[in-house]
Amino acid sequence: MSPKILLIDGHSQCYQSFYAIPMLTSPTGQPVNAVYGFVATLKKLLREHKPDLAVVVFDPKGPTFRHKQYQDYKAQRKPMPDALRAQIPLIHEASEVHGLRVASVEGFEADDVIGTLAKRASSRGLDVDIVTTDKDAEQLLDPRIKLVDARRDKVTDLETLRREKGIEPSQVIECMALSGDSTDNIPGVPGIGPKTALALIREWGTLENVLEHVEDVRGAKTKENLVQFKDQARLSRELATIRTDVPMDEQLTDFAVRQPASPALYSFYRKHGFRSLMKDLPRADDQAERNYHLVADRESLTRFVDECRKQGEISVDLESTSVNPVDAEIVGISFSWEPGNAYYIPTLSPEGQPHIQLDIVLNMLRPILEDEHIKKTGHNLKYDIVLLRCNGLQLRGLSFDTMVASYVLNTSARQHGLSQLASEHLNHRMTEIYELLGRGREQTTMDKVDVERVSDYACEDADMALRLKRFMEPQLAELDLQELFAAVELPLVEVLAEMEYNGIKIDPGVLHRMSDEFAAKLKELEKSIHEAAGEEFNINSPKQLQAILFEKLGLPKLRKTRTGVSTDARVLEELGRVHPLPKLILDFRQLSKLKSTYLDQLPRMASPRTGKIHASFNQAVTATGRLSSSDPNLQNIPIRTELGQKIREAFIPSEDDYLFFSVDYSQIDLRMLAHLSGDPALVESFKRNEDIHASVATQIFSVSSHEVAEDMRRTAKAVNFGIIYGLTPFGLSQQLGCSVETAREFIERYFEIHKGVEDYMKQVIDDAVEKGFVRTILNRRRYIPEIRSDDARVRGLAERIARNTGIQGSAADLIKVAMNRIHQRIRDERKNTRMLLQIHDELLFEAPAGETDAELEWIAKEMEGAMELRVPLKVKTASGTNWREV
């Protein structure tokens, strides 16, 4: 079997990959869709063709000899898209890291270099596979040279050309002399297309023979054009001819395929976020490096504690019986302070297997875990803090949390799990929890699993967290995110743990009574709905609802989905203007959702240990930097509806002599916009403590302050927030119920007055396009690769996200700073006040009734002084005996 060389047309493959694969970005926000597609194709080619030699050939920078022959050569081609141009160096790197050389020769196109290498290799007995989609390359075919279309898995050889076109390779350029090539702007002969050219060459063999027998050619116009444009045809033949004599210093043996090094491939894939490709690589074999110890008796525990006390930093991880730390039991604790070495202390295990009583373990570990001078690393340490706190121990000395670090490095990433991070950054496949506990009905709890298996699993958790910390710290520093992580996000872990531990008390009786009331209202609504429809039907069935609305009642079909005509909330709101039934359906849905989500579920979610709701506050979820809440989502209870307010009545202070109080930032998004933009008019309005919406109303309606009517203020408010959220004239017109033109005038008028805001918005988008991300006031990054999209709709959405993120993300930074300061003071001064909830710009507390006023005062000052902005920060305060009163 002859040796084989693979010649890859680099630009052809780059363009194919760029347009075939939707926009992808690396963890740093750089476009990499073409790189990913190129690498996937390259791997496939190497796997299937198994070449001995291979080279990726690119066009050089600058003009080639053809441009000198014909100045309009390729003149009509559009410039390479910026998002693709930025990826070319990465594709060069990808080729090299996969063991392939990259080649280009100044003054010659990639086709010429490929032609030269192909003929040189063929003459020396090598088989040649040319990877290209360019039909021009058919002129290179010979018994050893084939063309490969990698995307279509199509191979063209000499026999294929003869069978399908009835010509020889040398006649390919004769055809192109006549038909030209629109892709390269080769003119050919006007009026002669590929089919006619092929027929003429089949009959006469060459361009010169066609010209000699022009009188025998059919078609008067064709004859006329052949005579008139014969010199143009000859030039076209020259332009279409691929050179096979390009001067090259490289020998064929210089293109031997090198075995790629797995660490280099892994590093390249990880750097650019190619997780699916990482899975194909052999995993790093860590078995030889591992030294995991089971510490399961008092003597071993004593030796372990003595050794652990000597460490300046340790990685800690707890295993338990539940994902809810308040109701979980500790199964064991693992530690690591040297990569590859870890220890597991079991406190629960299956019957007959070793463990040490929990109180003994905690008493011996207390001096270590509560020592702030011994730094603690871990993954999702908030869980461990709450679990230990429920068992009477305060974990102190937090130094690093790998989940939080991952989030700070890339807020847009969907996953920050430990196994995901170990795979992505360390090329290590961790044991997944389902491998121990099972799934579905067969799932068990950790205390029922063999203690040796739990030991390996737990030690690996502590070990990987330690390794990841050492990997991630330099990344945080490199991206200038260390201060955000260390000064804001890491301290917030303790704040959120305290809030989760505190929980919030509910009155189940109130919720049960409300559930009965809602059930009665739902029955009344159901009756009204059936009366409005003129018949009974299943309100929860989209198909039956569609039949009633659009077939029986004949209401307009506003929007279609894959399953039929849409009946979502937006559609029903629109239809509610012409018929009462859609509004009734909306009321029914809202009532039903509130009943099932809150009234029926909340009592079941109260902890059996405390009787409180202990919601999770998620620090590593939203792309803007905001916190979210789950199990249950207490941030999502409607605040502006009577029904939502009634639900809040059920939330009460945990002790009889306590009161709730809240402190809420006033118009924080608009104040942040004023600070970030520095717009003089906006800044002065806030400094003068004006009603910002009324102030804007005077400007866009050109009236004095005492002439501002309520509807004017409402319009100004919509414009103010519309600017923040990137609302289009159409979107604003929908909110205000006015024409698009009127809405556009409002926006234009706003920007005329607030030129600083307009300039700021433009600068945000320009920066995002250039860098691929936007920053908040504390340097948090949000990657928005879609802002470089060629799709106007996708790009428009990305621009709105960019404008909003800087403002909303900066507001999130602000309240996190405030929370850290308040928590620190509560702890240092040993106050009775407890922070319970964060609802975006608002904090909810409880404190003894006699201390509430004083607590409100200092907390308000802390929040107003959390950052120094161009405008004053203001808060609103309130107190009451339940959440609704607040």
Check whether residue 720 and residue 586 sit in a common domain: no
Whether 562 has a pLDDT exceeding 80, the answer reads: no
Alpha carbons within 13 A on the beta-carbon side of 865:
8
pLDDT digits (tens, 9 = 90+) for 18-67: 988 888 888 777 889 999 999 999 999 999 999 999 999 998 887 777 77
Check whether residue 633 and residue 663 sit in a common domain: yes
Tell me, yes or no, whether 336 lies in a domain: yes
Q: What is the DSSP letter of 60?
A: P
Rounded-to-integer distance, Cα 186 and Cα 178, Å: 10
Check whether residue 646 and residue 575 sit in a common domain: no
Number of domains in the chain: 5
Rounded-to-integer distance, Cα 807 and Cα 748, Å: 20
Check whether residue 75 and residue 18 sit in a common domain: yes
Check whether residue 672 and residue 684 sit in a common domain: no
pLDDT digits (tens, 9 = 90+) for 287-304: 446 899 999 999 999 999
Q: How much of the chain, in percent, has pLDDT values that exceed 90?
A: 62
Q: Which helix (H) or strand (E) holds 404?
A: helix 402-409
Q: Give the CATH number, domain containing residue 298.
A: 3.30.420.10
Using N-to-C axis directions, what is the helix angle for 418-426 and 451-478, rounded to 10°? 60
Tell me, yes or no, whether 267 lies in a domain: no
Check whether residue 129 and residue 152 sit in a common domain: yes
Kindly list the distances between the CA atom of residue 353 and the CA atoms of 301, 334, 349, 434, in Å, as whole numbers in the listed order.
16, 17, 6, 21
Check whether residue 867 and residue 881 sit in a common domain: yes
Residue identified by tokens 């006390």 is 309
Tell me, yes or no, whether 224 lies in a domain: no
pLDDT digits (tens, 9 = 90+) for 583-603: 999 999 989 998 999 999 999
Which two three-digit tokens encode residue 759?
Answer: 């300039």
Q: Of 611, 642, 666, which residue constitutes the final position of a domain? A: 611
Q: Domain range holding 584?
A: 523-611
Closest to 95 in 3D by CA, of 46, 137, 59, 151: 46
List beta partners, residue 57. 9, 103
* Interacting residues of 362 by C-beta distance below 8 A, sequence separation 6+: 388, 391, 392, 393
Rounded-to-integer distance, Cα 105 and Cα 59, Å: 8
Q: Give the CATH number, domain containing residue 558.
A: 1.20.1060.10
Tell me, yes or no, whether 211 lies in a domain: no
Q: How much of the chain, in percent, has pLDDT values that exceed 70?
A: 99
Q: Of 692, 721, 753, which residue constitutes the final position of a domain? A: 753
Rounded-to-integer distance, Cα 507 and Cα 771, Å: 51
* Phi, psi torsion values for 766, nearest 5 degrees: -60, -45
Mean pLDDT calculated for residue range 372-387: 98
Amino acid at 609: R
Check whether residue 651 and residue 570 sit in a common domain: no
Check whether residue 644 and residue 575 sit in a common domain: no
Tell me, yes or no, whether 484 lies in a domain: no
List, in sequence order, every beta strand (DSSP E) within 51-185.
53-57, 101-103, 127-131, 145-149, 154-156
Tell me, yes or no, whether 494 lies in a domain: no
Tell me, yes or no, whether 342 lies in a domain: yes
- The pLDDT score that the predictor gives to residue 520 is 94
Amino acid at 437: L
- The pLDDT score that the predictor gives to residue 444 is 94
Rounded-to-integer distance, Cα 197 and Cα 189, Å: 9
Collapse the DSSP code of 876 into the 3-class scheme (helix H, G, I; strand E, B; otherwise coil) and give the result: strand
Query: Cα-Cα-Cα-Cα dihedral of 822, 824, 828, 829, to 10°?
Result: 0
* Interacting residues of 595 by C-beta distance below 8 A, sequence separation 6+: 515, 518, 519, 522
**In the predicted model, what is the mean pLDDT of the chain?**
91
Q: Of 594, 611, 628, which residue constitutes the final position of a domain? A: 611
* Phi, psi torsion values for 728, nearest 5 degrees: -80, 165
- The pLDDT score that the predictor gives to residue 361 is 97
pLDDT digits (tens, 9 = 90+) for 387-398: 999 999 999 999
Check whether residue 604 and residue 691 sit in a common domain: no
Check whether residue 299 and residue 442 sit in a common domain: yes
Rounded-to-integer distance, Cα 455 and Cα 174, Å: 75
User: Is-contact 437 449, C-beta < 8 A?
Assistant: yes
Total Cβ atoms within 10 A of residue 227: 13
Tell me, yes or no, whether 69 lies in a domain: yes
List beta partners, residue 407. none
Check whether residue 738 and residue 820 sit in a common domain: no
Whether 466 has a pLDDT exceeding 80, the answer reads: yes
List beta partners, residue 846. 660, 834
